[in-house]
Chains A and B, each alone.
Chain A
Amino acid sequence: MNKVDSSQKMINNDAEADLIVPKESDEAGFARWKTWLPEIGLRFPVLTILVTLVITVLFAMQFPKVTFDNDPENMLSKQEPIRVFNDQIKAKYALYDFVIVGVVNDADPNGIFNVTTLNRLDQLTHELLSLKRGEDGLPRVTRKGDDGTYREETLDLRPAGRRDRILATVFNQNSNDLFIENEDGSYSSAIINHELIAPSLVDNIKQAELGSLKMEYLMENPPETEEDALVIRNDAMSNPLYSGTLVAEDEQAICIYIPIITKNYSYNVSQLVEALTADWDGDDLVMITGQPVAQDTFGVQMLTQMAVSAPLAGLVIFLLLLYFFKRLQLIIAPMLVALISVITTMGLLIGLGYDVHIMSSMIAIFLIPISVSDSVHILSQFYDYYPQFKDKAKTIRHVMSYLFMPMLYTSLTTLVGFASLATTPIPPVKVFGLHVAFGVAVAWLLTMVLVPAYIMLAVSNKSLKQAEQRPLVEDDTSNADFMTRFLERIGFLAARRPRTSVFVITVLIAIAIAGIMRIRVNDNPIKWFTRSHPIRVADDELNRHFGGTYTAYLSFSAVDADAADCMTKGAIMKKAAEERFAAKFPAETKRFMSAIDGLLPLYRNVFTADANRCFVDLVREAERIDDDTGAAWNTLADTINYLDSEGLTKEVLLKALSEETEIDNSIRALFEDQFAAVSDEMDGADLQDAALDICDEFTDLSFRDFVFEQQAELEAPLFKRPEMLRYLQDLQEHIIKSEVVGKTSSAVDALIKGAYELAYVEAPSDATEEERIEMEKINEANKAVPSTAAAVGQVFTQLEGMKRRDYLFHMVTRNYQEANLWVQLKSGDNIDMETVVEDVHEYIENNPPPVALDVGWSGMTYINVVWQDKMVTGMFGSLASSFLIVFIMMVALYRSVLFGLLSMIPLSVTILVSYGMIGWLGKDYDMPIAVLSALTLGMSVDFAVHFLQRARDEVALRGSWLKALPIMFRVPAVAISRNAITIALGFMPLLAAPLLPYKTVGSFLAAIMVLSWIATLLILPALLSLFERRAFPNTAKK
């Protein structure tokens, strides 16, 4: 914004005296190179306007290609290691983005578990699954009618209001688009049906009739009676995987998680859910949330924002200019410049294939005030000087040559401020910065070429004649007087008491720095919505009922997949064999030991990839030992086993054995000896079992089985090893202690639940109360990680075969070598995620896992933290670099280091104070705030440029700073004020936005404008008084 001092005539008294009289040297010396651009507009006005129009149309033609992107993930480039890792984790564990539909009922005595609500949820689930595309492209679902029959129904999800419909058409948003086109031209639902998480579709393992185990869906059938509903409640609440995630622990809410192919469908899916639940009356509240919905909704609202705020900002500025300048003809030119800059910039962005992101959606709002001010200055000076020249072209040449340098520099500084954003590592911010920089350049070019052409064509000589009679700003006196008097007073005070001023400012800076120290870096995309926004309300509500809807993943893999070699395993096995066999089979144990000793050296030097290699040969040797010792017992046991139970007596059994010739007599004798102790009363299956129990004592001691058992333990993948699973369990118990974490889930939870239900034994119906309690204790003890890897493996195998296939593999890889812990946070605040990350890091440091692990975080909640960190450091770099460049430019402009420094001071104070304010107000330093830091620099330096430039001229003209002071506070100060007010008010429409980042930008920029306006007018007079000698050496000497 150039606030080159333009509006000389704004002050009526002394107006003529204040004018810098045009000198011949100006015209001759500067004119040629400073006016070659305006010359084009002057000589070929029609052509200029036509060319501009054609180019503008070309850029505007890119608009229909617009795409939007509100995915915070894209705050990082696709190649960022964390995104690559995140994508790997998503693929590895088949993780999807979810639309979360929460249904809350806190009025029913049974909460959400009432017959009506559960039936509704079941129907909703099946309606979602039935989604298909009709011939007409509209979504169709199968719904149950009032008469109980099912029929297909076509839905139209487009917004009802005409305005929204037009907007949706313009921005190419089709709410009915819920399908992806397959290669064969058919369509599939954007909902990933087999991953839908709902009570009707998740597994449950439970005890059933006759001591059997039932594996079915949690809500296999919707309840018909209250008892049915309560069974579902009990099943859900007793499953650690569902309580706190699928169902709220307060029993008042259930969430359905709808996985979608890509995030872009989430808004449409949320519309679908709203349509399907529109007829739900009573106490069921439907809340839709989840990061993808938030992002997508944000995108849709961004459209409204762009379609409303930008024109509104234009209108406000238009009205302000009209109020200040009172001439419609004059105001059209700046508005044209603004419009064309915005169209070309957005056209470029869209044409280059960039998505419109939250940042780039604000381009128009930034460009309008910036581009307007350039041309306003030209025009107002044009009207001032026209009476002297009485020739449009000559007047323009004069005005241009005078304004060229300040305009160039102020445009350049603004441009640098925005372009410096390109140094940040955040792609959308880069795109934003570079495009606004482009827009600033376009605005400058248009001001140089189009405005002269406009004047030549559109401003009639007649109107200019009238203008001569009429001062540019006629009834401005009262208003200007008030402002002038106020500014004069503070300015004079500052200039006359420079030391006091500097002291006050220093104190202010100190307070600001203290405030900056208090700044809390934090962002939360959900908080981009205002508190009353349905998304935000749903988010608050669901996070109140549930463990939290913000998920981060903590994944584990071994640093070294299989650390133990054959030698180590051999040693472990020898120890175990000693314990198991030495007492009963000392000779065989010795033989087995030497077999191990004999085989191991073969593998000593082989770091074999085939883990089973250590065991293959050993199994053969073990088999031979078994054959020599236990074979007879096995034959004996087999003989008994194959007998028919019916009619079996001791006599029959013994007879059968005596007929089996392969049984060694001594063994038979040993068996008969012990069998004699069995009661003669016993018969049938019981007798058979008793006989087999005797054999088991010997058959159980099989070396072959022992080797397999050892293999199962020693070769077990990481996450089938009990000690590793217990470590994970302990870690989970630690994490959940954190206040910000509501819930964690892992394969261990599934395992323990499975082991418990598998091993559950119900007390017999005639058991006493004591027996029951005792039984419960035994069952409760099974709520633990099983003690061997084989037991773990067998429970997992059962879970793998449940109705909901592969559910387990969201938490552990199929080879059980890696695991993925789901951590649910109660808020999306980055600061909360950071706490958890640090906490986990510390825990693992202090409690090293049994096997060295690679631990990595992923998930959107975590990614937000990563880009936030990058942004904070990136913005600092960008700020520092633009500060340096602007400083160098200032030194070049004034050819004085002192003036360079002086011009940087007001904006530095502005930035310090505005960020200090953020610290003191307790507002989080989030993405919009961070982005603003760098660009305010480029924008607020303009005031100082203007003030100092004029101060130099005035001091040269009037001989001393004190003499120049009064005029400084009447002419340039007022111009600065007008500019500050125009821009600040221009940003005001943003405050009406339903999206907080826009509000933040609007209020923050307005605050910065006002601050830097005051800072310029306060600090510069004081400093110029203090450094008068050095600042104006020639005049000072006089």
Chain B
Amino acid sequence: MKKIFLSTIALSLLLISPIMGNEEKELTGDELMSKSNQAFYYAGKDGSSDVEMTIRDAQGGTRTRSMTILRRNEGENQKYYVYFRSPADVRRMAYLVWKNVKGDDDRWLFLPALNLERRIAPGDKRTSFVGSDFFYEDVSGRNLTDDTHELVETTDEYYVVSNKPKVPNSVEFAEYKVWLDKTTFIPMRSEYYDKNGKLYRTVESKKVEEIDGYYTVMEAVASDLITGSSTVNSFSNVRYNLDLNANIFSQRFLRRPPREVTSRK
């Protein structure tokens, strides 16, 4: 992986925006989440990143997966290309996601060992991303209009925003709270509560670095408090504004991965 860029999988990445100075006026929950979303999922016009994913189950066993993720912003929509590098049996497996803010996402997958490319029908985005504790929605972002957002607390370091689904039975959580870093707007911690008000899931940003001027999450952890499993995503080779060829995010590149994800010259 010589050429690498930035991406945003799993609650990762960085913040653009910043430096809004010391605003006098208090931001609303909606504004904060919008800023955070921009910083976290939309940094740069495109990006690339390598991800080491470690899934640790309740018994202490671990599974690792390494991937390279490419992202390209197209207005408010985005395209993602996820390429698996290891373990050996899933090497060259690839996902393509076209995130459509107004409407269902488009998804494709390619399984090289079966020489198989399939379109995946739009479905629940709050399901596990490749068997990890991260959800698809953590990777590509949750639609801000699905929830109501309320600033519930401002500390020295964080804005704490409470988010509640507008359609209560549409998701498994009744509420999730996000701790946004006051300077970077990166969500440093998210807590998900069920209908009984019990905390059952957390997503944390463990390490944030500034890369090419963008605050970037370099390590994210999602924990399932019910099953006791957790997943750590470690990011490396993060790059922004690579001018990625738009053609990469097409089905043809599923079978024939782009140079950007293979280390082949």
Within 8 A of A (CB), among B105-164: 109, 111-114, 116, 118-121, 123-124, 127-131
For B116, list chain A residues within 8 Å (CB). Answer: 758-759
**Shortest distance between the CB of B115 and any CB in chain A (Å):** 9
Option from A213, A788, A815 in Cβ contact (under 8 Å) with B113:
A788
For B169, list chain A residues within 8 Å (CB). Answer: 150
Q: Are B247 and A801 in contact (CB under 8 A)?
A: no
Which residue on B lies nearest to A789, using beta carbons? B89
Complex-state Cα separation, A210 to B118, whole angstroms: 10
Q: Can you sample 14 A-B contacts with CB below 8 Å?
A: A209-B121, A214-B121, A641-B253, A642-B247, A642-B248, A645-B252, A711-B88, A715-B88, A758-B116, A790-B91, A790-B112, A792-B89, A794-B90, A814-B57
Instruction: Check if B195 is an interface residue, CB within 8 A of chain A.
Output: yes
Instruction: Check if A597 is an interface residue, CB within 8 A of chain B.
Output: no
Instruction: Check if A563 is an interface residue, CB within 8 A of chain B.
Output: no
For A685, list chain B residues within 8 Å (CB). Answer: 252
- For chain B, the count of residues having a C-beta within 8 Å of the partner chain is 46
Q: A212-B121, A805-B127, A806-B227 are in contact. List 17 more A-B contacts (CB 8 A).
A: A132-B196, A194-B226, A208-B121, A212-B118, A215-B120, A634-B264, A638-B256, A642-B248, A755-B114, A758-B114, A759-B114, A789-B89, A790-B89, A793-B89, A794-B93, A805-B131, A814-B55
Option from B57, B119, B124, B247 in Cβ contact (under 8 Å) with A212:
B119
A203-218 contact mask (Cβ, 8 Å, vs B): 1 or 0: 0000011111111100
Option from A212, A626, A794, A800 in Cβ contact (under 8 Å) with B112:
A794
Q: Are A798 and B109 in contact (CB under 8 A)?
A: yes
For B226, list chain A residues within 8 Å (CB). Answer: 193-194
Instruction: Check if B166 is an interface residue, CB within 8 A of chain A.
Output: no
Q: A186-B198, A801-B130 are in contact. Are A716 and B111 (CB under 8 A)?
A: no
Q: Are A803 and B130 in contact (CB under 8 A)?
A: no
Complex-state Cα separation, A215 to B125, whole angstroms: 11
Q: Are B265 and A631 in contact (CB under 8 A)?
A: yes
Option from A142, A210, A642, A759 in Cβ contact (under 8 Å) with B245:
A642
Complex-state Cα separation, A879 to B252, whole angstroms: 79
Q: Are A194 and B227 in contact (CB under 8 A)?
A: yes
Option from A150, A214, A644, A805 in Cβ contact (under 8 Å) with B247:
A644
Q: A716-B89, A720-B89, A791-B111 are in contact. Are A188 and B63 (CB under 8 A)?
A: no
Q: Are B124 and A790 in contact (CB under 8 A)?
A: no
**Shortest distance between the CB of A704 and any CB in chain B (Å):** 8
**Shortest distance between the CB of B70 and any CB in chain A (Å):** 13
Instruction: Check if B21 is an interface residue, CB within 8 A of chain A.
Output: no
Which residue on A lies nearest to B56, using beta carbons? A814
For B227, list chain A residues within 8 Å (CB). Answer: 94, 194, 805-806
Instruction: Check if A988 is an interface residue, CB within 8 A of chain B.
Output: no
For A210, list chain B residues within 8 Å (CB). Answer: 119
Instruction: Check if B22 is an interface residue, CB within 8 A of chain A.
Output: no
**Shortest distance between the CB of B243 and any CB in chain A (Å):** 12
For A91, list chain B residues within 8 Å (CB). Answer: 59
Main secondary structure of the interface of B (DSSP, over half): loop
Instruction: Check if B259 is an interface residue, CB within 8 A of chain A.
Output: yes
For A788, list chain B residues within 8 Å (CB). Answer: 113
For B75, list chain A residues within 8 Å (CB). Answer: none
Instruction: Check if A690 is an interface residue, CB within 8 A of chain B.
Output: no
Q: Are A797 and B91 in contact (CB under 8 A)?
A: no
Q: Are A801 and B265 in contact (CB under 8 A)?
A: no
Instruction: Check if B103 is an interface residue, CB within 8 A of chain A.
Output: no
Chain B interface residues (CB < 8 Å from chain A): 55, 57, 59, 61, 63, 87-93, 109, 111-114, 116, 118-121, 123-124, 127-131, 169, 195-198, 226-227, 245, 247-248, 252-253, 256, 258-259, 264-265
Most chain A C-beta atoms within 10 Å of own C-beta, residue among B91, B169, B253, B264: B264
Complex-state Cα separation, A720 to B88, whole angstroms: 12
Q: A712-B91, A793-B89, A806-B227 are in contact. Are A638 and B113 (CB under 8 A)?
A: no
For A786, list chain B residues within 8 Å (CB). Answer: 113-114
- For chain A, the count of residues having a C-beta within 8 Å of the partner chain is 68
Q: Are A815 and B63 in contact (CB under 8 A)?
A: yes
Q: A132-B196, A794-B114 are in contact. Are A643 and B247 (CB under 8 A)?
A: yes
What 10 A-B pairs are tightest by C-beta distance, nearest first?
A793-B89, A800-B131, A790-B113, A791-B113, A712-B88, A212-B119, A208-B121, A214-B121, A212-B121, A712-B89
Complex-state Cα separation, A212 to B117, whole angstroms: 10
**Shortest distance between the CB of A33 and any CB in chain B (Å):** 65
Q: Are A758 and B63 in contact (CB under 8 A)?
A: no
Q: Are A801 and B131 in contact (CB under 8 A)?
A: yes
For A794, list chain B residues within 8 Å (CB). Answer: 89-90, 93, 111-114
For B120, list chain A residues within 8 Å (CB). Answer: 212-215
Q: Are B114 and A795 in contact (CB under 8 A)?
A: yes
Complex-state Cα separation, A179 to B91, whole angstroms: 45
Q: Are B114 and A791 in contact (CB under 8 A)?
A: yes
Q: A788-B113, A791-B113, A793-B89 are in contact. Are A216 and B119 (CB under 8 A)?
A: no
**Shortest distance between the CB of B73 and any CB in chain A (Å):** 19
Which residue on A lies nearest to B55, using beta carbons? A814
Q: Are A797 and B90 in contact (CB under 8 A)?
A: yes
For B93, list chain A residues within 8 Å (CB). Answer: 794, 797
Which residue on B lies nearest to A640, using beta carbons? B256
Complex-state Cα separation, A755 to B131, whole angstroms: 17
Complex-state Cα separation, A9 to B66, whole angstroms: 96
For A496, list chain B residues within 8 Å (CB). Answer: none
Instruction: Check if A130 is an interface residue, CB within 8 A of chain B.
Output: yes
Which residue on A lies nearest to B251, using beta carbons? A685
Option from B61, B111, B247 in Cβ contact (under 8 Å) with A758:
B111
**Shortest distance between the CB of B260 and any CB in chain A (Å):** 10
Complex-state Cα separation, A792 to B252, whole angstroms: 23
For B245, list chain A residues within 8 Å (CB). Answer: 642
For A708, list chain B residues within 8 Å (CB). Answer: 88, 91
Instruction: Check if A689 is an interface residue, CB within 8 A of chain B.
Output: yes
Which residue on B lies nearest to A206, using beta carbons? B121
A177-198 contact mask (Cβ, 8 Å, vs B): 1 or 0: 0000000001010000110000
Option from B121, B130, B197 in Cβ contact (under 8 Å) with A800:
B130
Instruction: Check if A92 is an interface residue, CB within 8 A of chain B.
Output: yes
Complex-state Cα separation, A794 to B116, whole angstroms: 10
Instruction: Check if A663 is an interface residue, CB within 8 A of chain B.
Output: no
Which residue on B lies nearest to A626, using beta carbons? B264
Q: Are A213 and B90 in contact (CB under 8 A)?
A: no
A944-958 contact mask (Cβ, 8 Å, vs B): 1 or 0: 000000000000000
Instruction: Check if A312 is an interface residue, CB within 8 A of chain B.
Output: no
**Shortest distance between the CB of B9 and any CB in chain A (Å):** 14
**Shortest distance between the CB of A646 and any CB in chain B (Å):** 10
For B258, list chain A residues within 8 Å (CB). Answer: 638, 641-642
For B87, list chain A residues within 8 Å (CB). Answer: 712, 793
Q: A797-B93, A814-B61 are in contact. Are A215 and B114 (CB under 8 A)?
A: no
For A92, list chain B residues within 8 Å (CB). Answer: 59
Most chain A C-beta atoms within 10 Å of own C-beta, residue among B89, B123, B127, B195: B89
**Shortest distance between the CB of B170 and any CB in chain A (Å):** 12
Which residue on B lies nearest to A142, using beta carbons? B195
Complex-state Cα separation, A833 to B260, whole angstroms: 57
Within 8 A of B (CB), among A593-615: none
For B259, list chain A residues within 8 Å (CB). Answer: 638
Q: A631-B265, A641-B252, A643-B247 are in contact. Are A214 and B123 (CB under 8 A)?
A: yes
**Shortest distance between the CB of B210 and any CB in chain A (Å):** 31
Q: Are A801 and B128 in contact (CB under 8 A)?
A: yes
For B112, list chain A residues within 8 Å (CB). Answer: 790, 794
Q: Are B128 and A805 in contact (CB under 8 A)?
A: yes
Complex-state Cα separation, A729 to B241, whole angstroms: 51
Q: Are A802 and B121 in contact (CB under 8 A)?
A: no
Complex-state Cα separation, A790 to B88, whole angstroms: 8
A805-835 contact mask (Cβ, 8 Å, vs B): 1 or 0: 1100100011100000000000000000000
For B121, list chain A residues within 8 Å (CB). Answer: 208-209, 212-215
Instruction: Check if A300 is an interface residue, CB within 8 A of chain B.
Output: no
Instruction: Check if A688 is an interface residue, CB within 8 A of chain B.
Output: yes
**Shortest distance between the CB of A488 and any CB in chain B (Å):** 75
Complex-state Cα separation, A872 to B112, whole angstroms: 57
